Amino acid sequence: MCVEHVQGKEQSFMTVKAIDLLRKIQQEVDFVPVTTRSVEQYQRIKWPDGCEPEWAVTTNGAVLLHNGVADEKWSQYVKVLIDNWLGDLQIQYEQQKQSANYIRCRIVDNSYLFLYCDEEADVKAIVEHCREQTNLIVEGVGRKIYFFPPGMDKGWALMQLKEHLGDNYAFAAGDSSIDESMLKLADEGIAEYGLHVELEGVCWHQPLETVYSEWLLKKVLERLSEKE
């Protein structure tokens, strides 16, 4: 089922099975997306009936949405953290936008710098070089490169969420290096196949030849049943 359109074209999908599993999970726990997407990108998602989350964290932790509206207290706290790094973000933006390596270069929600690389670009080499030039946290995922303010990550967002929602146990699922801080701080981390992360707590790694979304949702339901 298509759950997102971009410029009138189908962009993102969920399997019917994953939708059914997510509806069951929504009846048991708080389901909170924690994403690097901008607010605008997140709000493009059209959640199927029974799957709509009340809360969502976007922009890699910078924005907390409650029923689609930014939480003002969260935003004010984050602003103090990010303001110290806006100068560094601007410097990197001015430097990177001149490079032919990138198809897109922009500062997202006034919170982090995003680069989308040309097919020929050596992303790993670019990331290593950039890390030597800045104190910002530089992460490469596929053809995407991100410059994040230190301390503003999904792990931080998870800990704030637990306090904000009054929850004392958290499952976290991730599929890239940007998710590692969240997986490490969750009570149980659920990692996509190929994401090798060493955790001190409980960690589940996706088996080969499974659909990640369906497998992780089944795993959460299974663990909830075991904990009853």
The CATH number for 179's domain is 3.40.50.1000
Please give the mean pLDDT across all residues of the chain.
94
Q: Do 169 and 193 share a domain, yes or no?
A: yes
Of the three residues 148, 174, 198, the one that is the final residue of a domain is: 148
Q: Do 67 and 166 share a domain, yes or no?
A: yes
Beta strands in the chain (DSSP E): 2-6, 9-13, 55-58, 63-66, 69-70, 102-108, 112-117, 137-141, 144-148, 171-174, 188-191, 202-205
Q: Do 35 and 69 share a domain, yes or no?
A: yes
Q: Do 31 and 76 share a domain, yes or no?
A: yes
Closest CA relative to residue 191, chosen from 221, 162, 168, 171: 171
Q: Do 128 and 34 share a domain, yes or no?
A: no
Cα distances from 191 to residues 22, 154, 195, in angstroms, run 17, 14, 6
Q: Is 172 helix (H, G, I), strand (E, B) or coil?
A: strand
Of the three residues 132, 148, 164, the one that is the final residue of a domain is: 148
* Torsion from C-alpha of 174, 215, 53, 161, nearest 10 degrees: -40
Q: Do 130 and 174 share a domain, yes or no?
A: no
Dump pLDDT digits (tens) for 162-192.
Answer: 999 998 899 999 999 999 999 999 999 999 9
Q: Do 89 and 76 share a domain, yes or no?
A: no
Mean pLDDT across the stretch 25-49? 97
Provide the token pair at 100: 């032919």
Q: Could you list the residue range(s) of the whole structural domain that residue 161 is in?
A: 2-80+152-227
Q: Do 160 and 106 share a domain, yes or no?
A: no
Going by C-beta distance under 8 Å and a sequence separation of 6 or more, which residues neighbour residue 216?
173, 190, 204, 206
Residue 36: how many other CB atoms lie within 10 Å = 25
Domain count, the chain: 2
pLDDT band at 201 (very low <50, low <70, confident <90, very high): low
